[in-house]
Amino acid sequence: MAKALPPKSLSPEARSILSSQISRRAVFAGVGAAAGVTALASCGSGSSDAASTVRWANWTLYLDVDEAGTSYPTLQAFEEQFGITAVYTEDINDNDEFFGKVQGQLKLGEDIGYDIITPTDWMAGRFIRLGYTQKFDKANIPNAKNLLPTLASPSFDPNRDNSLTYQSIMAGLGWNTTVNPKGLKAIDDLWTPANKGKIIVLSEMRDTIGVILLSQGVDITTVTEDQFMNAVDFLQGKINDGWIRGVKGNEYKEDLISGDATAVIAWAGDLFQLSNENEGKFDFAIPESGGTISGDNFLIPSTATAEGKKNAETLINYYYDPAIAAEVAAYVNYVTPVMGAQEEMEKIDPVLAKSEYIFPTEKTMSRLNVFKALTPTEESTWTEAFQKAAGN
């Protein structure tokens, strides 16, 4: 059977990514099958005792998967190389939701069931501030030297003692290409009759409100409370008027697949993966007014055992190998934080090695903005206002 080609309605960037993925995944399908099947919820077949297990909670659509959707090739290779069984679960849907699930146990010093978690920058800062993480033994993570210099000293962890970026995330506009054949260039393009009642925005406040603020000409690195609340009022109005059907975490992708959503404020990697899996039905763009960028971070919870911590550091070090980072990036299409990964990507896929969504140039980075760090008071007040508008 001939492969379906990407539809011409896709942006040139998405067409090149999708064409590349179609051919690459067809090749890797045979590799995955030959390597054997690994259960998605619990990879590998090694010993199940704590000393040889690492438990990783991650977001959905955030690790390389084989063509059959039954194993994670890089994680399976990790198990074979180190003899450590990786229990991998897609348990993070929303930062606040995940924090609420584990906070009580962390406060009591009880095992939360994970040795590695991957919250977003601001939430990583909260975990660290509350003493819910363990400092890395940096001797176990020599590949940390490959971290991009621009990510080396974030305000929430200046020396990177407790965190390392897993992937960086661009947020912007996503859409169903059938319903929106001309694409979306600005937030105002969301509000067309065909999308009414079928728009989803992210429950990640800094991304949704960030994109709205940028469309209003606000610098989100210095946003004031009045400006923020004005953007919340704008969001509330669109919800009240029936344009927006929901404010959601990672599950928004299910609404796109089902057709319940036709336009979204969303994350780039998700849309490119959904496009690949649905014959180019979806696309993504950074709005003309700008998008947001942030990072999700490897953290080791304070409740991880000594064995679990060491295994976690082994895994983190493994994913900071440029060749492994490139293989992951080739599937997830998020911005990789690892120096040397672009050169390794050239060996895997020269098209993806030129992708602005994986290896952004200075020109693309100039269109992406980091939401300012909030004080505890601002975080409480602003989050409450956003959650009220979202109906929570």
Token duo for residue 119: 């919250």
- In this structure, the dihedral spanned by the alpha carbons of residues 362, 363, 366 and 367, taken in order and rounded to 10 degrees, is -140
> Which parts of the chain sit beneath pLDDT 70?
1-51
CA gap 364, 300 in Å, rounded: 32
Which pLDDT does position 392 carry in this prediction? 78
pLDDT (tens digit, 9 = 90+) per residue, 21-49?
Answer: 544 443 333 333 333 333 344 443 333 44
Q: In 3D, which of 33, 41, 118, 143 has the Cα closest to residue 85?
A: 41
Domains belonging to the chain, first-starting first, are: 12-168+295-358 (3.40.190.10), 169-293+367-390 (3.40.190.10)
Please provide the DSSP assignment of 261-272 as one string.
-SEEEEEHHHHH
Helix, strand counts (H, E) of the chain: 14, 10
CA atoms of 387 and 119, how far apart (whole Å): 19
Per-residue model confidence as pLDDT tens digits over 224-251:
999 999 999 999 999 999 999 999 998 9
Q: Please check whether residue 212 is in contact with residue 287, taking contact to mean a CB–CB distance below 8 angstroms.
A: no
- Report d(CA 120, CA 293) in Å as an integer: 11
Q: What is the per-residue pLDDT for 7?
A: 57
In the block, residue with structure tokens 């991304």: 207
pLDDT value at position 65?
A: 92
Place of tokens 């690892």: 338
Cβ contact 329:319 at 8 Å = no
Look-up of token digits 């990789």 = 336
pLDDT at 67: 84
> Which string of DSSP letters, residue by residue, matches 349-377?
-HHHHT-TTTS--HHHHTTEEPPPPPPHH
